[in-house]
Amino acid sequence: KIGLVCKAYLQVEIVGAATEGNDVRLVCKTSCYLSSSPTYSWKKNGEPLEKEPTKNNELLLHPVSREDGGRYSCAVKGHEDLSSIFQLHMMKIDQCVCSICSVTLSCSSDANPPVKNYTWFKENIASPVAAGQNYTITIFTSAQVGLYSCQARNEVGLQNSTAVPLTVHGSGADLFLSGSDQCSVSINLVLKSRIVSPQRLPLCFYMQ
């Protein structure tokens, strides 16, 4: 049996920010000297997290997600009455939905005359979000989920593409763009243009 040579108490310390997608360690600590190799057990909301007690005094949440929030407790085998309780609160985030996110939208047109400029729009935003044939979002955030479209303009008019939805699926650090199994994707929009040069009308001469 494990002997404690002082009035024992346990405490749980957190290592790492409890932000979704991060790695978080919960460490079970005591200021007392444990006379033999201790065995630890962990519970979440009163339910055991491991089938068997462990020699490790750390609980790794890799990566931490919203579902990991709750009431954690650790105890030393043989001294379960000295368990320590820790409440893990998840922090709200508005950051990259996965570890490395990059989205490139490309727009092309077969217009005649050729397109002079391309402009990018996002739903519910009146002003353009970007200009140019390619629009790259190097860090995709939750605020950027939505419908995107491009507008092509030449000397005689303009044309809008169909809207492309950028949404996500998964959880924690495994969020991906829907329709893709990766984080960095390229989407090409091709406009079969109706922007064409006006036809020249024949000149007519009348003789009196």
Buried b (16+ CB within 10 A) or exposed e, 60-77: ebebbeeebbeebbbbbe
Same domain? For 128 and 153 the reply is yes
Boundaries of domain holding 128: 102-191
Closest by CA position to 122, among listed 98, 151, 95: 151
Q: How confident is the model at residue 6 (pLDDT cuts 50, 70, 90)?
A: very low
Task: Supply the CATH number for residue 119's domain.
Answer: 2.60.40
**Span 133-145, mean pLDDT?**
77
| Burial class, 120, CB count within 10 angstroms (exposed 0-12 / middle 13-18 / buried 19+) | buried
CB 155 within 8 A of CB 145: no
207 occurs within a structural domain: no
200 occurs within a structural domain: no
Q: What percent of the chain has pLDDT above 70? A: 59
Q: Look at residue 120 in the predicted model and tell me its pLDDT.
A: 92
Same domain? For 125 and 157 the reply is yes
Q: What is the pLDDT of residues 54-112, one digit of tens each?
A: 677 888 888 888 788 888 888 887 777 666 777 776 654 433 444 446 778 888 888 88
| 47: CB partners within 8 A, 6+ apart | none
Closest by CA position to 38, among listed 48, 53, 50: 53
19 occurs within a structural domain: yes
Q: Look at residue 118 in the predicted model and tell me its pLDDT.
A: 92
Q: How confident is the model at residue 136 (pLDDT cuts 50, 70, 90)?
A: confident
Same domain? For 77 and 120 the reply is no
Same domain? For 41 and 80 the reply is yes
CB 150 within 8 A of CB 187: no
Domains contained in the chain, number: 2
The C-alpha torsion from 153 through 159 and 161 to 163, rounded to 10°, is: 100
Q: Look at residue 90 in the predicted model and tell me its pLDDT.
A: 60
Task: Supply the CATH number for residue 82's domain.
Answer: 2.60.40.10
| Predicted TM-score of the model (pTM) | 0.44
